[in-house]
Structure formats: structure tokens, C-alpha cells
């Protein structure tokens, strides 16, 4: 039934619905990892450290859960399950890992949905954020890269983790000394997920020509990314919290001056350093380390730079 639904959308997409294709590509783009992480970094550095911490912690945690579900279920992408499904070529480039649950939907639920569930946020903004989550999730169906259950579970995963992070951060307000315990618990969970992904057997199905349909080891890359991001955030968060303690309670000019160099440095790390590490250290170790450094830059290195440079003025 899920494939039939995708085929109906595909027929519409290739016919009168072609006018919506660019729109849903843009909506899907809003759920991409690099976009979501950049937005969270801006919030953390320039807008609200409190909200930035909430989003970064929730997103990195949701990516670990998403990665665990991916390698546990090992659900093939729709076009592998049925050759009649022909996804949009641009969307196909970002469709990595196993299909279930959708990473874009989890990203959307963590960032936009994370804002939606905060009761102190303006009601109109909460409604708008909810619409964005729904459109991003539907875009993955419309573009043919995910089934309905992929996006539904992706959204639920993100929202449940963000709800849990709300509770956790409230508890930490009453027990600030427990931050190291939270960090250690998160790292242990992330490492266990990485070990599970590394040692579990993966399905090995072949086509009529005897070619392996899906390489399970490659599909586990998304899981290792989540592990690296989670560990990078947790360690950076505790170090910043205990030794740096930068603030977003600054002037608008200071906020603006933080933005451009921060984003440029972030993209230099993401596009250059991450690629170099992956080339130098193949396999799971390179993926975990590169994503660790990517998130560690956001949560600790750039705040350290801000604190020292701004204090030197």
C-alpha cells in the first residue's frame, strides 16, 4: 500500500504536479543536515544560548535514535523495493542510509518541531513551525525517497526526543552538577549504538544478475554520523558550561559580528576538514571523528573563540 501511494504521487509529480516539484525540493532542503545544523548554530551563538542548547542536544540525541532504528530495521529504499518507483534525481543525492525512519523528517521535528512544542513560543509561530514539519515530511514522499511510515516515525522520533530534552533540561536546572553524569550516560548510549551497528549482521539480497542490492556496512554510515554528533555536542557542552560560559545577552552589533565568521568557519570545518578526515581515516572511525569535530566546533571551539576575542576588546 505504501508503494501504491508513492506511485500515485509519482504520476502526479510527473504530470500536473510538476509545478510543485521545485517547491517540495526547497522544503526538503530545509530538513537537510547542513541546513538544520547551521540554523541551530546561529541560534546557539547569536540568538539564545538556552534555546540553542535545547535544539543541539535534542537534535544530536534524535540522530542517535534515528541511526539505531535504521540499522535495526534495515528497510530498503522505495526504488529498491519496487523498480517502478523513480525518485526525483536531486532528492536522490541526499537519500543516504536505510529508508526507515526518515532522517530529514527527524531533523525537521527536532528543529522546527522542537520550537513548536515549546509553550512559551508565540502561537502563530508554533503553527507555522508545525506546517513546516508537515511539508518537509510530505516532501520526502512527494519526491519518492521515503514511504509514509518512514516520515511518520521520523517525525515522532524527533518530537519524542525533544519532549524528553525539555524534561531533562528542567531537571538539570535543579541539579546543575549532574551535567557530567548526563554527558557520560549519553556517550555510553552512543558508543553502544555504534558497536551494535558495527557488529550486527545485515541483509544481503542480490538482483537477478547476482549484484548485491544494498551494502549494509555503507548504510550504517548515518548511524555513525549521529554517534559522532552526539558525542561532540555532549563533550563540548560540558566543557563550555564549566569553563567558558559565553553569553548571548549581548548587543545586536555583537550578535551580527559573531554570525558571519562563525558560519564561514563552520562551513570550512564541514566542507574541508570533514572531507579530509574521511579521506585519511576510512570507515566508521573517520565518520565518527569528522562528525564529532563538526559538532565540537559548534558547541565549544567557536564559543571559546568568542569569549576570548570579545574579552580582549
User: What distance in Å separates the CA atoms of residue 313 and residue 287, rounded to the nearest whole number?
Assistant: 38
Q: How much is the average pLDDT of 278-301?
A: 94
Classify the C-alpha dihedral 192-194-195-200 as positive or negative. Answer: positive
pLDDT digits (tens, 9 = 90+) for 152-183: 999 999 999 999 999 999 999 999 999 999 99
pLDDT digits (tens, 9 = 90+) for 228-268: 999 999 999 999 999 999 999 999 999 999 999 999 999 89
Residue 212's SS3 state is strand
Q: Which three three-digit cell numbers place residue 101?
A: 525512519
Q: How much is the average pLDDT of 288-309?
A: 94
Whether the predicted pLDDT of 149 surpasses 90: yes
* Summary mean pLDDT of the chain: 93
Q: Which three three-digit cell numbers place residue 160?
A: 519524542
Q: What percent of the chain has pLDDT over 70?
A: 99
pLDDT band at residue 310 using 50, 70 and 90 as cut-offs? confident
154 contact partners, CB below 8 Å, separation of at least 6: 66, 101, 102, 103, 104, 105, 106, 109, 137, 146
Query: First vs last Cα of the chain: how many Å apart?
Result: 63
* Residue 157, CB-side half-sphere exposure with 13 Å CA sphere: 28
Q: pTM of the prediction?
A: 0.94
Greater confidence, 278 or 10?
10
Whether the predicted pLDDT of 97 surpasses 90: no
Cis peptide before 110 (omega within 30 of 0): no
The pLDDT, as a whole number, for residue 313 is 62
Dihedral of the CA atoms 113, 115, 118, 123 (nearest 10)?
Answer: -100
Q: How much is the average pLDDT of 3-22?
A: 92
User: What distance in Å separates the CA atoms of residue 146 and residue 75, rounded to the nearest whole number?
Assistant: 10
The domain segmentation of the chain, as residue ranges, is 2-311
The percent helix, strand, coil of the chain (3-state, each to 5) is 80, 0, 20
Classify the C-alpha dihedral 101-103-105-111 as positive or negative. Answer: positive
Whether the predicted pLDDT of 312 surpasses 80: no
Dihedral of the CA atoms 67, 71, 75, 78 (nearest 10)?
Answer: 50
| Best-predicted range by mean pLDDT (2-6, 54-58, 212-216, 283-287) | 54-58
pLDDT digits (tens, 9 = 90+) for 51-66: 999 999 999 999 999 9
Q: How much is the average pLDDT of 3-7?
A: 94
pLDDT band at residue 296 using 50, 70 and 90 as cut-offs? very high
Q: What are phi and psi of 206, to 5 degrees?
A: -120, 150
Q: What are phi and psi of 187, to 5 degrees?
A: -65, -40
How many other CB atoms are there within 10 angstroms of residue 183's CB atom? 19
Whether the predicted pLDDT of 207 surpasses 90: no
Amino acid at each position: 500500500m505504501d508503494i501504491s501511494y508513492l506511485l500515485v504521487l509519482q504520476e502526479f509529480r510527473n504530470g500536473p504536479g510538476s509545478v510543485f516539484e521545485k517547491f517540495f525540493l526547497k522544503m526538503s532542503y530545509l530538513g537537510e543536515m547542513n541546513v538544520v545544523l547551521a540554523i541551530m548554530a546561529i541560534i546557539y551563538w547569536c540568538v539564545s544560548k538556552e534555546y540553542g542548547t535545547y535544539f543541539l542536544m535534542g537534535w544530536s540525541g534524535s540522530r542517535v535514535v534515528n541511526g539505531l532504528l535504521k540499522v535495526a530495521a534495515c528497510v530498503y529504499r522505495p526504488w529498491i523495493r519496487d523498480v517502478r518507483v523513480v525518485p526525483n534525481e536531486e532528492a536522490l543525492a541526499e537519500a543516504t542510509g536505510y529508508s526507515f525512519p526518515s532522517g530529514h523528517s527527524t531533523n525537521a521535528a527536532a528543529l522546527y518541531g522542537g520550537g513548536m512544542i515549546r509553550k512559551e513560543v508565540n502561537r502563530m509561530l508554533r503553527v507555522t513551525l508545525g506546517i513546516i514539519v508537515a511539508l518537509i515530511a510530505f516532501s520526502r514522499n512527494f519526491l519518492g525517497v521515503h514511504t509514509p511510515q518512514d516520515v511518520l516515525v521520523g517525525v515522532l522520533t524527533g518530537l519524542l526526543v525533544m519532549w524528553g530534552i525539555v524534561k531533562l533540561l528542567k531537571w538539570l536546572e535543579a541539579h546543575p552538577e549532574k551535567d557530567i553524569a548526563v554527558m557520560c550516560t549519553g556517550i555510553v548510549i552512543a558508543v553502544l549504538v555504534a558497536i551494535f551497528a558495527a557488529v550486527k549482521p545485515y541483509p544481503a539480497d542480490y538482483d537477478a544478475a547476482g549484484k548485491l542490492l544494498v551494502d549494509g556496512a555503507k548504510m550504517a554510515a548515518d548511524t555513525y554520523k549521529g554517534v559522532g554528533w552526539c558525542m561532540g555536542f555532549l563533550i563540548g557542552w560540558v566543557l563550555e558550561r564549566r569553563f567558558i560560559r559565553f553569553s548571548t545577552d549581548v548587543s545586536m552589533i555583537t550578535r551580527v559580528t559573531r554570525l558571519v565568521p562563525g558560519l564561514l568557519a563552520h562551513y570550512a570545518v564541514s566542507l574541508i576538514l570533514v572531507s579530509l578526515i574521511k579521506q585519511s581515516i576510512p570507515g566508521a572511525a573517520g565518520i565518527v571523528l569528522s562528525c564529532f569535530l563538526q559538532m565540537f566546533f559548534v558547541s565549544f571551539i567557536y564559543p571559546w573563540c568568542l569569549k576570548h576575542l570579545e574579552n580582549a576588546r
